[in-house]
Chains A and B, each alone.
Chain A
Amino acid sequence: MTLPLVSIEGLSKRFGKQGPAAIHALTTEVRAGQVTGLVGPDGAGKTTLMRLMAALLEPSEGRIEVCGHDTRTDAIAIHDTIGYMPQRFGLYEDLTVIENLTLYADLRGVVGSARKETFERLLAFTDLARFTDRLAGALSGGMKQKLGLACAMLRSPQLLLLDEPSVGVDPISRRELWRMVYQLVEQGVGVVWSTAYLDEAENCAEVIVMSEGRVLYQGDPKSLTAGMAGRVYQARGAGAERREALARALTRPDIVDGVMQGEAIRLVMAEGVQPPTPEAVGASTPVAIAQAAPRFEDAFVAMLGGQPKRTSWTGGRRAVEPSGAAPVEAKALTRRFGAFTAADAITFTIRRGEIFGLLGPNGAGKSTTFKMMCGLLRPTEGTALVDGLDLYKAPAAARARLGYMAQKFSLYGDLSVQQNLEFFAGAYGLAGARRREAVGRVIEAFDLKLYLEENAGGLPLGFKQRLALSCAIMHEPPVLFLDEPTSGVDPLTRREFWAYINAMVGRGVTVMVTTHFMDEAEYCDRVALIYRGRSIAVGTPETLQDSVRTPESPNPTLEDAFIALVEASDRERRAA
């Protein structure tokens, strides 16, 4: 057993004298030669803990020792021995790749022949040698991440702290980064990797799962996941009824968790109960139930006590009246910015009551497409239709039929919940009795009564999300657009959110969602994979997975499918 790189004892951190504890009585260790995952939702205290370890914050109570130095007294020695990559990578966007490297090399004292050798090694390692003269701001998310890593590694640190390195980075770059980190680990470096993505936990030798400043679990993620063996099942065959079936199943006491997984329903059973029966799902069509391999997320949700039981939610009153036209249609949508084509002839049709996902790496054209569909960006060519109405020929009528929930919710943080609701009702042109009725309806449907007088900015995340959704559907739109609705949200809040969405879809609402979360993509009926401005594949999550199934990889995940399809597209482009 080697000495720990970081030892933390009774650590608490408060901002302000009487503030709530961002970190609460934490005792833990980080060992060399392995990746320690720091996992938890936004606001769990991950970044605070990272900064405390980097000696950028002082502990309120307790102590941290990094490589034998106390962070309170020996910050300088610590800065000399560790590498730290903050969120957004800490790069100067108006400096080139080589200028960023040179700056950090000067600051860290990597000079002379050592510098030349280090640069060569790191540029080869990160595959950035071709881009040394490019401004860091002009790099893709994945390349920025690699450059950030290179800057943090200039001095061959003993401890490497990576704060949310995979945010805003596509799955391919994420995989590459993991490969690079494993190489470092082999050389004996200790790596701390913080993330809100639970699927990354499985890549770590050890995880510290945090929530609200406290440690929920610490140890080997695989043993936690392995403990779920025999409790996870997939039910197939419920067809169009599967969302109602899931909602029904979740009311049962023997089922602790359940999510949509493409065509299938994934069910997690309570400890020691019988496997689920088709009756538990209760669909009118025959349902086949099979065991599935457990994931870290199953274990995580089960550890938190499973999804809260709720009576099935009806949400609003009216079912959407069907109309002749397709609810959402993109016809050869093209958008050019100068010589750059951000979206190239993107075509899809969304059926009524369908959840349709736009999936793709950052900068692929997913947001551009989304904005054109919302009527926020004029297409260079092609048309965007909502319920058969052209967003540019009849913008007001088309927009009245869609509800839009923006990234980060776009609520007025300084207004109370009631005021936010009133404002958005007014913005949608509801007045008088109709406004009162609409506001009353969403307050009831989303259980907002207790929070009416509180400012939206201070709400718990789950309620913020509910409020944002309430505001978007105040005018009962038949079509709902969601832009990255649950990034950085903990799994329980995300499940709650999707329960609302599923209930609305059950009444015939059509949903379009953008995401780069692979498991969120699995909640969709169909996804379109957007890459380099083109839609390179459209289909159900299963068909996409099937399309890349090979003898070598018999059970590809959606992320595997994503990577394989993108790589195939790159090969095609190079061949052409």
Chain B
Amino acid sequence: MSGARTSEGRWRRIRALIIKETLQVARDPSSFVVAFVLPALLLFLFGFGISFDATRLKIGLVIEETTPAARDFLSSLANTPYFDVHQAWDRRAFVDDLAAGRLNGVIVLAGDFADRLARGDTAGIQVITDGSDPNTAGLVEGYVQGAWASWLAQRAVGADVTAPGQIDIQSRFWFNPELESARFLVPGSISLIQMMIGSLLTALVVSREWERGTMEALLATPVGVFEFIVGKLVPNFVLGMFAMGVSVLASLFVFNIPLRGSITALALFTAVFLGVALSLGLLISTVARTQFIASQIAMLVAFLPGLYFSGFLFEVASMPAPLRLFARIVPAGYYVRGLQTIFLAGDIWAVILPASGVLLLMSAFLFALTVWNTRQRLD
């Protein structure tokens, strides 16, 4: 029997495997769920469900002694869109509301507020927040500081006096001037989607072959490891790019996220990342023989690190050193930074190229590990 190892035979086998895989994906509802429903769900969850933007923070303002300055500060707070201000004369009036979560924070203007202000002292106000919800507490603090600073600045303008040596801080948030969280959450969730399709789906389809006993039948044919791997990679790669297309359309037209970079850069960069995700999925499938175990491992090594360490939800810079080090080997981190750049800033090659380089290295490493780990035997 000749011809088994000729290149013609090899391409015929690869083509046959790709056709088979494509038919299976087309007929299998679970592939459809992972490739289309899950991305939609994640996008909407991150795009609409989670928001780090605060509008109408409920604030209690304690004015211990009514002075024109205090009233002025009150009206300046109430005039911004960020605060819903309640007023009282004593801080005790707000203690219960703060504890019950009816208020996000309390601002206290002490009795000597006006005097100290007149003397030019600093630290004129006290901000009390709910430490059990640090996220909101931080927001309140930041927003109140901002409001306080702008009120002081207004007063200075109004009084037409400029304190000598005072620094004039002007904040500019580049690329996302409105600081809308969807703008960095949506690119982040795209990375999760790609990771799911690349790793989870790939690991699932291979372990399914083990579970259903078809792997055994395949192994007893002249199919080689390389052919089998390529036969799995190509259809899932196409599926991943397809889901990418859907995600990008949703980002542009549902979430109104600008795409300042080029489609080409986006596609190429995504292809590079998919390489890592697919290799990781294949590597998982070399150890997992059941779909259950495959999905557990994929969750643990692909999805969760992508969620926590890619920096789109949690700031990596503020993590302890060992975790920062770990975050460096999480491929999703490089992808998220690159994606955010392409979406919000443009084709900044100084960001995209190094990230691509790291991702390519990662996928080469994982792929080599997969080929080395795939034995063409059952034991």
Interface on A for B, CB 8 Å cutoff? 15, 51, 54-58, 75-77, 79-82, 84-95, 99, 102-104, 106-109, 111, 151, 155
Q: How far is the CA of A77 from the CA of B13 in the complex (A)?
A: 16
Q: With A76-B4, A89-B217 given, can you name 15 additional A-B contacts, CB distance below 8 Å?
A: A15-B379, A56-B220, A57-B377, A75-B376, A77-B1, A84-B216, A92-B212, A92-B214, A94-B24, A95-B20, A99-B20, A99-B23, A102-B16, A106-B13, A109-B9
Q: For the complex formed, measure the closest distance between the CB of B210 and the CB atoms of chain A, giving whole angstroms.
A: 11
Pairs A–B under 8 Å by Cβ, sample size 27: A55-B220, A56-B220, A56-B377, A56-B378, A57-B377, A75-B376, A75-B377, A79-B220, A80-B4, A80-B222, A84-B216, A85-B217, A89-B217, A92-B20, A95-B23, A102-B16, A103-B16, A103-B17, A104-B221, A106-B12, A107-B13, A107-B17, A107-B222, A108-B221, A109-B4, A151-B217, A155-B1
Give chain A residues whose Cβ lies under 8 Å from the Cβ of B16: 102-103, 106-107
Neighbouring B residues of A80 by C-beta, 8 Å: 1, 4, 222
Which residues of the partner chain B approach A88 to less than 8 Å between Cβ atoms? 212-213
Residues of A within 8 A of B219 (CB): 56, 79
Question: How near does chain B come to A114, taking the closest CB pair, in angstroms?
Answer: 12
Chain A residue at smallest Cβ distance from B219: A56
Once bound together, how far apart are the Cα atoms of A92 and B9, in whole Å?
22
Q: Tell me the smallest distance from the CB of A103 to a CB of chain B, in Å.
A: 5
Report the separation of the CA atoms of residues A77 and B379 in the bound assembly, to the nearest whole angstrom.
Answer: 20
Quick check: is B5 within 8 A (CB to CB) of the other chain? yes
Interface residues of B in 202-220 (CB under 8 A from A): 212-214, 216-220
Q: How far is the CA of A57 from the CA of B12 in the complex (A)?
A: 26
Q: How many A-B residue pairs have CB under 8 A?
A: 94
The 4 closest A-B pairs by CB, nearest first: A90-B217, A106-B16, A84-B220, A86-B216
Q: Are B1 and A56 in contact (CB under 8 A)?
A: no
Q: What residue of chain B has the Cβ atom nearest to residue A163's Cβ?
A: B216
Would you give the shortest CB distance from B114 to chain A, in whole angstroms? 73
Among A54, A79, A81, A84, residue most surrounded by chain B Cβ atoms (within 10 Å): A79
List, in ascending order, chain B residues with CB within 8 A of A87's CB: 213
Residues on B with beta carbons closer than 8 Å to the beta carbon of A56: 216, 219-220, 377-378
B377 touches which one: A58, A89, A92 (CB < 8 A)?
A58
Q: Assess whether B178 is interfacial by the CB under 8 Å rule.
A: no
Q: Which residues of B are found within 8 Å of A102, using beta-carbon distances?
A: 16
Residue B49 at the chain A interface, CB threshold 8 Å: no
A110 to B16, CA, bound (A): 12
Residues of B within 8 A of A85 (CB): 217
How far apart are A287's CB and chain B's nearest CB, in angstroms? 49
Partner of B212, one of A93, A107, A111: A93
Within 8 A of A (CB), among B29-83: none
Per the bound structure, the CA–CA distance linking A155 and B1 in Å amounts to 10
Q: Quick check: A107 and B214 within 8 Å, CB to CB?
A: no
Chain B residues, Cβ within 8 Å of A108: 221-222
Checking B12, B20, B379 against A111 with a beta-carbon cut-off of 8 angstroms, the contacting residue is B12
Q: Which one, A77, A91, A107, contacts B221 given CB within 8 A?
A: A107
Q: Give the docked Cα–Cα distance between A102 and B17 (Å).
A: 11
CB distance from B227 to the nearest CB of A (A): 9
Query: What residues of chain A lie closer than 8 Å to B177, measured between beta carbons?
Result: none
Q: Give CA–CA (A57, B220) in the complex, Å.
A: 11
Given the known inter-chain contacts A81-B1, A155-B1, please indicate yes or no for A107 contacting B23, CB distance below 8 A: no
Q: Are B9 and A76 in contact (CB under 8 A)?
A: no
Q: Is the CB of A86 within 8 A of B217?
A: yes
- Most B CB contacts (10 A, CB to CB) among A75, A86, A91 go to A86
Distance in Å: Cβ of B139 to nearest Cβ of chain A = 48
Neighbour of A109 across the interface among B17, B214, B222, CB < 8 A:
B222
Q: How far is the CB of B218 from chain A (nearest CB, A)?
A: 7
Contact assessment for B3 and A109 in the assembled complex, using a CB-CB cutoff below 8 Å = yes
Chain A residue nearest to B20 in the complex (CB): A103
* Interchain CA distance A75-B213 in the complex, whole Å: 19
Q: Are A58 and B379 in contact (CB under 8 A)?
A: yes
* B positions within 8 Å CB-CB of A: 1, 3-5, 9, 12-13, 15-17, 19-20, 23-24, 27-28, 212-214, 216-224, 376-379
* Closest Cβ–Cβ distance, residue B379 to chain A (whole Å): 5
Q: Is the CB of B213 within 8 A of A86?
A: yes
CB distance from A75 to the nearest CB of B (A): 7
Residues in B neighbouring A51, C-beta threshold 8 A: 216, 378
Inter-chain contacts of A84 with B (CB < 8 A): 216-217, 220
Residues of B with C-beta under 8 A to A82: 220
Q: In the complex, what residues of A have CB within 8 A of residue B220's CB?
A: 54-56, 79, 82, 84, 86, 90
Cα of A55 to Cα of B222 in the assembled complex, Å? 12
A85 closest partner in B (C-beta) = B217
- Which residues in A have their C-beta under 8 angstroms from that of B20? 92, 95, 99, 103
Q: CA separation between A86 and B214, bound complex, in Å?
A: 8
Q: Which residue of B lies closest to A111 (CB)?
A: B12
Look across to chain B and name the residue whose beta carbon is closest to the beta carbon of A94.
Answer: B27
Question: In the bound complex, what is the Cα–Cα distance between A93 and B217 (angstroms)?
Answer: 13
In the docked arrangement, what's the CA distance between A107 and B20, Å? 11
CA distance A75 to B224 in the complex (A): 11
Are the C-beta atoms of B9 and A90 separated by less than 8 Å? no
Q: In chain A, what residue has the closest Cβ to B1?
A: A80
Residues on the A chain within 8 Å of B213, using CB: 86-90
- Min CB distance A147 to B, Å, is 12
**Interchain nearest-CB distance for A190 vs B (Å):** 16
Given contacts A95-B23, A99-B23, A151-B217, A79 and B222 within 8 Å (CB-CB): yes
Q: Which of A79, A86, A107, A155 has the most CB of B within 10 A?
A: A107
A223 to chain B, nearest CB (A): 33
Measured CB to CB, the nearest residue on chain A to B28 is A94
B378 with A57: CB separation less than 8 A: yes
Distance between B21 CB and nearest chain A CB, rounded to angstroms? 10
- Give the docked Cα–Cα distance between A104 and B223 (Å): 10
By a CB distance below 8 angstroms, the chain A residues around B224 are 76
User: B216 contacts which chain A residues (CB < 8 A)?
Assistant: 51, 56, 84, 86, 90
Please, which residues of chain A bring their CB within 8 A of the CB of B23?
94-95, 99
State in angstroms the CA–CA spacing of A93 and B28 once bound together.
11
Would you call A106 and B15 a contact (CB within 8 A)?
A: yes
Question: Which residues in B have their C-beta under 8 angstroms from that of A94?
Answer: 23-24, 27-28
**Closest CB of chain B to A315's CB: distance in Å?**
39
Closest to A102 in B: B16
B25 to chain A, nearest CB (A): 10
Q: How far is the CA of A401 from the CA of B168 in the complex (A)?
A: 88
Q: A80-B1, A99-B23 are in contact. Are A109 and B12 (CB under 8 A)?
A: yes
A48 vs chain B, min Cβ distance (A):
9
Complex CA–CA separation, A91 to B1 (angstroms): 24
Docked pose: A364 CA to B112 CA in angstroms: 91
Contacts of B214 in A (CB 8 A): 90-92
Instruction: For the complex, give the distance between the alpha carbons of A79 and B219 in Å.
Output: 8
Return the chain B residue nearest A148 by Cβ: B217
Hey, which chain B residues are within 8 Å of A77, CB to CB? 1
- How distant is A45 from chain B, measured CB to nearest CB, in Å? 14
> In the complex, what residues of A have CB within 8 A of residue B379's CB?
15, 57-58
Give the shortest distance, in Å, between B146 (CB) and chain A (any CB). Answer: 58
For the complex, give the distance between the alpha carbons of A544 and B212 in Å: 38
A65 to B17, CA, bound (A): 30
The distance in angstroms between the C-alpha atoms of A155 and B23, with both chains bound, is 24
Q: Which residues of B contact A99 (CB under 8 A)?
A: 20, 23
| Minimum CB–CB distance for A485 against chain B, Å | 25
Residue of A nearest to B15 (CB): A106
Contacts of B223 in A (CB 8 A): 107
Residues of B within 8 A of A86 (CB): 213, 216-217, 220
Which residue of chain B is the closest to A75 with respect to CB atoms? B376
Q: Which chain B positions have C-beta within 8 A of A109?
A: 3-4, 9, 12, 222
| Bound: A75/B379 CA distance, A | 14
Question: Which of B12, B219, B220 has the most chain A CB atoms closer than 10 A to its own CB?
Answer: B220
CA distance A14 to B214 in the complex (A): 24
Which of B23, B216, B223: most chain A Cβ within 10 A? Answer: B216
Distance in angstroms between the alpha carbons of A102 and B3 in the assembled complex: 18
Could you tell me if A92 and B24 are in contact, using CB atoms closer than 8 angstroms?
A: yes
- When chains A and B are docked, how far (Å) is the Cα of A56 from the Cα of B214? 13
